[in-house]
Structure 1
Amino acid sequence: MNYGFRVVYSTPGVLESKGFGRVAHLPFIMDDRPGYHRLANQFLIDRGLGIWEPKQRGKEESALPPSSVTMKDYAHWLANFLEWCHVRAKDPLKANYKIDLIQHYQVEMQTGIWSRDNVGLKPRTINVRVSIAAEFLTWAADKGLREPFHIPKIIKTYSSYSPSSFSGRETKSVETRKGKVREEKRRLGFPQEVEIFDWLQRLNLRCTTEALIAETILETAIRRAEAAAWRVDTLPIDPREWRIVNPEKPIEHQAVLIDLRFNTKGPEYGRDHGDKIGPHGIIRIPMPLAQKLHVYRERVRPKALVLATRKAKSRSEAERIRHDAVHLFLNPRNGNRYTGDNIYDFWRSVDRPRGWSPHLARDFWACSVLWKHIQQYWSIVDRALNMKVDESVFKILQLQAETCIQLTIQPQLRHVSQETTIAYLQWLSDRLGINMNFHQNWVEQLSQDDLEDGI
C-alpha cells in the first residue's frame, strides 16, 4: 500500500524527553513506506536551525533560523518534489536543474499533469516549489552527497524610491533564478466602504469582541496572527503611559505608539505562550481605537476570563489559567484565546463582500491612507485629469505617492515588497483614471523572491 509523502510533527514532549529539544519544533517528512526520510529531514534540520542557508554558503556566521510557519511551508514544498521524484522514478540526487526541475517538474505543474485536480497551478506555487527543490539539491551538493548543482542566474534591474538621490530614485540590480514562471502582478480592488461598514455591523451583532478584533485590523493594518497574539499589556495598562505622538491634536486625530513583537513577520527568536517571538516593530493606533481596547480590557475581558477559570478543578489550576491568560482577546463563549485561524473563520461567518479577507483589509488600509495623502495635491490631480499635461506632472504625483508609501505606509505594515508597492501605485492610477506609466517608470517589476536574492 502506498501512503504518499507527508509532513508530520512529533508528539509534544517526546523529543525533549529524549534530548532532542532543539529540533522538537521542526516538521519532518515521512515517505511512502511510510518511513522517516533521513536526507530530507537532515536538510530541514540544517535549514531550521540556521546551520545552512543559501545566502550564507561558505560564510562563517550562521543564519537566523526561519520561522515555524516558513519551515512548515518548506517541508510541504519539499515533500511534493520528493513524491514527484518517487512517482516518476527519478533519483533526486541526480536531478538536473534545466531538464528535471524546469522542463519536467515545473512544466507538469503548469499543465496540470502534476496537480491534485489536473488543473495548472498558480505561478507563485510553482516557483516556491521549484525554489525549495533547488535549495535541497544545492544543500546536497554542499554536503558532498551529489555532484555540484548549477542554477543559472540572470540580473534584473529595478528603480526604487531613494530620499538621498538627487532624482528621488535609485537603480538597483539583483540576481534571480533563471526559468521562473512569470507571476501575474496583483490588481487591487476593494468593496465599497458602505459594504465594509455593513459587514462590520453584521459581525458586531454576532459578537462584539470579534467585531472589535476586525476593527483593530481595519484601523491598524496588523496581520490576523498579530491580532491573535496581542497581549493584555500591548497597549499599556495605565493610559497615562500611552505614548501619544501628537498630543496637541484633538482626541479624534491623536495616535498612540504600540510595540509589536509576537507573531510578527520575519525571523523567529523563540516562543512565548504559543506565539512566535519575531522582529520588534512599532505601529500607530488611532486614539479612539485605543480607548475602545482599554474599555474592552477593563469591562468585557474579565467576564470571558471567568468562563476560562470555571474549567479548573482546583484553586491552583484556576490561578494557573489566570496567569497564562496573557492575550487580550478572549472568546466570550468559552474564555479561550483567539488564534489566527479563529479570526479567519469568524471574518467569514457573516455575509461579506466578495473576496473580503483580513489580508485584503491591510491593503485597504494602505490604499485609503495613500488616497487621503494624494487628495492634498488635488489641484495637481485636477490639472492632470482635465488638461493636457506634460510628464512632469505625473512624476510629481508618483513621487508623492511613493513618499507616502515609504514614510507612512511601510512603517505601519512593516513589510512592503516591490510587488506590493507596484500594486498600490497601480490602484491609485486606476482610481484616478489616468495612465501614469508605472510599469515604465519602475524599470522592472519584481516579486519579493527576486528582491530577496534567493534561489
Structure 2
Amino acid sequence: MANVFFPDAERLAARGYESVAHVPVIFDSNGRYCREHNRYLRERARLEWHPGGGADIPRGRTLGNIAERLLNFVLWCEARGIKWRAVTYDDVLRYQKEQIGGEWSRTGIELSPSTANQRADEATNFLRWSVDRRLRGPFEVKMFRRPGRKRLGCGPRMVRVGRAKEDVISLEKAGFVLPKPEQIREWLEAVGRQRGRAKRLACKFIMDTGARRMEVEALTVEQWPKVSDISYARSHGLASVPMRLVTTKGGRPRTIGVPLKYAHEVRIWIDEKRKTHAFRYFKLHRKETNCLFLSDHPAAHGRPISAQTIYRCFSEVRPRPPRWSPHKGRHTFACFWILHALSIEANRGGGLAAMPADWVMNRGEFWLKTLQRQFGHISSETTEEYLRWLVHACGIAEVASGWHEFLESGSDE
C-alpha cells in the first residue's frame, strides 16, 4: 500500500545514518520502495540539490510535505499508466489541471490552485533533478522571473510557466478575525487545566514570540536563557531577553526576543518541575532527553511535546478563538506586535485611529521588516496581506495596547 514512512530516527542515527535519519521514505501502491524518488528526498534533505540553487534545508514537516506531494505524483503516474521517465511538462500541466478540476482528487472535489501548484511544482523539481542525475532524457520546462517581489528583501524568484492562478485572499476574507487578548488568555488557562502546565508553556511560546510549532518542538534546555541573562536584561530595563533558535524552517538559525516574565517563568519550570519529568522519562526509556518541553501527563510523563500535540492544544481545547491553530497564533502575534508598535508611534499624532492609511502602510512596512528578524521568513504575499489588514485594523487598534502585559495578567496556573 502506498504511504510515506517515517523511520525511527534515533535507531538510524545509532547505526551511522544520522544525516538521513529524519528523511521519510516513499512506497508505491504495490508496497515497492521508490528508489529514485527516495534518493531525491535524501539529496534535498542534505542540500545536495535545491530547486532554486538556494540554501534552505527542508526539515521536519517541510520534508514530510515534499514526500507527500511526490507520492501523490507517483500515484497519478500509476493511475494514468505513465512512466515517470517519459513524463513531459505537458503531462505535469495535465496533472495540475486534473486536480483543480476534481478528476484527480481523493474525494472528487475540486482542489485549490494552491494545492495543485505545490504538487506540480514538486513533480517538476523531481523531474529536473532526475535530468541533472542522468536518470532520464531531457525534460523541457520554461521558467520566468516573477517581478515585483522586492518588499522585505524577498526579491524576484523563478517560477514555471503554466502555474495555475491563485486567488489573493485577504486575511479578513479568509475568515481571519483577530482574537481579543482575553480570549487568548482564557484559552491558555484552559490548556493549563486540561492538558497540563508544560503544554501551556509550549503554546505560550508561540503567542509570545511568533515561533512555529516545529521550532517549539525542537527547543532544547541549553537554548533557554540562563538566570544571569534574564537578570541582566531586567537590570538594564529591557522588555525581552535574546535567545537563539537553532532548528528553524529553512535551516537558518535566528535570534529572537523572549518576554522577560515568560522567560523567567520557564526558567523556574526548567530548574524545578522539568527535572522530575526528565527523571521519569529516563527511568522509563533508559536514556536522557534535552528537549525543553516535556509532558507532565501521567500517561506520557517526560515525553517530549511534539508539534502535533501543540496543534491539538490549539484545535481541541475549549474555550478557544474561532478557527484557531498555531499558524493563526503566529498571525495574531504579528498583528498585535505591529499594532502595538504603531500605537506607540501614533500617540504623538492623536492616536492610531486618526492616522491616514498611507502612514499606516509606510510605518507598517518598516515594523514588518523589523519583525522579520523575530518571525523568520515572511513572504512578500504575506507582507502585502498584513499591510492591507493593518489599515483595516486601525479601528480596533486599542486592543493592541499592552499585549504582553495583558496576556500575563491574571492567574496562568
| TM band (smaller chain) | 0.7 to 0.9
The alpha-carbon deviation at position 234 of structure 1 amounts to 2.1
Q: Which has the larger radius of gyration?
A: 1
Amino acid in structure 2 at the alignment position of 1:183: E
Task: Give the match's secondary structure for 1:55.
Answer: coil
Distance 1:397 1:300, change over 3 A: same
Alignment match, 1:298: 271
C-alpha distance after superposition, 1:100-138 (max 9, x if no partner): 111x21111001111111111122221111011111222
- For 1:445, the equivalent position in structure 2 comes to none
> What is the match of residue 101 of structure 1?
92
Question: Displacement, 1:383?
Answer: 9.5
Structure 1 residue 337 corresponds to structure 2 residue 304: yes
Local SS of the residue matching 2:82: coil
How many Å separate the matches in 2 of 1:20 and 1:311? 25
Q: 1:192 aligns with which of 171, 175, 180?
A: 180
199-208 or 287-296, larger mean C-alpha shift? 199-208
Long gaps (5+) in structure 1: 57-61, 163-169, 268-278, 387-392, 435-455
Amino acid at match of 2:330: R
Letter in 2 for 1:265: K
Query: Identity percentage over the alignment?
Result: 27
- What is the SS of the residue equivalent to 1:311? helix
2:314/2:326 contact within 8 Å kept? yes
The code of the aligned residue for 1:75 comes to A
Gaps of 5+ in 2: 397-413
Are 2:367 and 1:404 equivalent residues in the alignment? yes
Matched residue, 1:209: 198
Partner of 1:125: 115
Write out per-residue CA displacement over residues 328-387 of structure 1, whole angstroms, 9 at most, x where no aligned residue: 32212312221111222233342122211122111111110111122222565869859x
Specify whether residues 140 and 224 from structure 1 end up closer, same or farther in structure 2 by C-alpha distance, changes over 3 A only: closer
Opposite residue 187 of structure 2, the aligned amino acid is W
* 1:175-231 Cα shifts (integer Å, max 9, x gaps): 321211222334142222222222122222222222222222211112222222322
Count of residue correspondences: 385
Partner SS, residue 54 of structure 1: coil
Question: Within 5 Å, which residues of 2 pair with 1:350-369?
Answer: 350-351=317-318, 352-369=320-337
Q: How does 1:171-182 map to 2 (within 5 A)?
A: 173-182=156-165
1:19 is displaced (CA, Å) by: 7.5
* Residue 17 to residue 295, structure 1, CA distance change in 2 (3 Å): closer
Shift, 1:151, TM fit = 1.6
The answer on 1:257 being equivalent to 2:242 is: yes
Partner of 2:50: 53
1:372 equivalent in structure 2: 340
| Higher strand proportion (structure 1 or 2) | 1
| Correspondence for 1:327 | 291
Residue 70 of structure 1 corresponds to 62
Please state whether the residue corresponding to 2:105 is helix, strand or coil: coil
TM-score by length of 1: 0.75
Does structure 2 conserve the Cα–Cα contact (< 8 Å) formed by 1:158 and 1:171? no
TM-score under structure 2 length normalisation: 0.82
Q: Any conservation in 1 of the 2:208–2:259 contact (CA below 8 Å)? A: yes
Match of 1:280 among 234, 243, 253: 253
Judged with a 3 Å threshold, the aligned counterparts in structure 2 of structure 1 residues 6 and 401 are, in CA distance, closer, same or farther, namely same
Q: Partner of 1:33: helix, strand, or coil?
A: coil
How many Å separate the matches in 1 of 2:7 and 2:391? 50
Q: Distance in 1 between matches of 2:353 and 2:292?
A: 48
> d(CA) in 2 for partners of 1:401 and 1:156?
24
Report the structure, 1 or 2, having the larger helix content. Answer: 2
Residues 1:228 and 2:217 aligned together: yes
Give the whole-Å Cα distance in 2 for the aligned partners of 1:360 and 1:335. Answer: 28
1:240 correspondence with 2:228: yes
**CA distance in structure 2 between the partners assigned to 1:302 and 1:25 by the alignment:** 27
- SS of aligned partner of 1:285: strand
In 2, Cα distance between the equivalents of 1:395 and 1:361? Answer: 27
Match of 2:27 in 1: 30
Match of 1:423 among 367, 376, 385: 385
1:151 aligned to which of 141, 156, 163? 141
Quickly say closer, same or farther: Cα 1:94–1:259, change in 2 above 3 A.
same
Q: Distance in 1 between matches of 2:201 and 2:48?
A: 42
2:404 aligned residue: none
Contact between 1:256 and 1:285, CA under 8 Å: does it hold in 2? yes
Counterpart residue type for residue 340 of structure 1: A
CA change 1:180–1:370 in 2 (3 A) is same
